[in-house]
Amino acid sequence: MSGLPGWPASLQALLDALPTPIFFKDAAGVYTGCNRAFERYLGLPRARIVGATVHDVAPRDLAEVYRRADEALLRQGGEQVYEAQVAWADGSRRDVIFRKAVIAGPAGEPLGIAGTMSDVTEQRRAEAAGREGLRRAERSEANFRAIVEGTPSIVFIHRDGVVLYANPAAARLVGLPADRLVGRQLLDFAHPDDRAALGPRLAAVGAGGEIVPAAEVRALGADGRVVPTEFLSIEVQHDGGPARVAIGRDLTERKEAEERLSRAQRLGALGTMAAGVAHELNNPLAFVLSNLGHAVEELGRLEGAVAEPRVRGALQELGGVLGEAREGADRLRVIVRDLRTLSRADDATRAPVEVARVVDYAAGLAASALRSRARLVREIGVVPPILGNEARLGQLLLNLLLNAAQATPEGPGPERTVRVTARGAPGGRVLLEVSDEGAGMAPEVRARIFEPFFTTKPVGSGTGLGLWVCHQIVEAHGGEIAVDSEEGRGTAVRVWLPAAPAVLPPASGAPPGPAP
The string of pLDDT tens digits covering residues 321-360 is 777 777 777 767 766 665 565 455 445 577 898 988 888 8
The string of pLDDT tens digits covering residues 224-261 is 778 888 877 777 777 777 778 778 888 888 877 777 66
How would you label 248-261 residue by residue, b for 16+ Cβ within 10 Å and e otherwise?
bbbbeeeeeeeeee
Beta strand extents in 369-485 (DSSP E only): 375-380, 386-388, 417-425, 429-436, 480-485
d(CA 400, CA 199): 51
The residues facing 163 across adjacent strands are 158
The overall average pLDDT reported for the chain is 77
Q: Which of 355, 396, 383, 347 lies closest to 502 in space, CA to CA?
A: 383
The string of pLDDT tens digits covering residues 493-504 is 999 999 888 644
Q: List the 154-159 sheet strands across, edge first.
A: 162-166, 154-159, 241-250, 226-238, 211-220
> What is the Cα 74 distance to its own chain's centre?
52
d(CA 259, CA 417): 38
The string of pLDDT tens digits covering residues 46-78 is 999 999 998 888 877 778 888 888 888 988 888
pTM of the predicted model as reported, rounded to 2 decimal places = 0.39
d(CA 507, CA 59): 70
pLDDT: is 43 or 443 the higher one?
Answer: 43
Angle between helices 121-128 and 141-150 (to 10 degrees): 40
d(CA 322, CA 299): 10
In the predicted structure, residue 116 carries a pLDDT above the cut 90: yes
List Cβ neighbours of 514 (8 Å cut-off, separation of 6 or more). Answer: 333, 365
Looking at this protein, which amino acid is placed at residue 116?
Answer: T
pLDDT given at position 503:
43
pLDDT: is 201 or 120 the higher one?
Answer: 120
Return the ∠ at Cα 509 (arms to 505 and 513), rounded to 5°.
Answer: 135
The residues facing 24 across adjacent strands are 33, 114
d(CA 325, CA 288): 10
* 335 Ramachandran zone, left/alpha/beta (phi>0; psi -120 to 50): alpha
The string of pLDDT tens digits covering residues 131-161 is 554 555 455 566 667 777 778 888 888 887 7
How would you label 419-440 residue by residue, b for 16+ Cβ within 10 Å and e otherwise?
bbbbeebeeebbbbbbbbbbbb
Is the distance from CB of 497 to CB of 430 less than 8 angstroms? yes
How many other CB atoms are found less than 10 A from the CB of residue 146? 13
Is the distance from CB of 369 to CB of 402 less than 8 angstroms? yes
H runs (alpha helix) in 408-448: 443-446
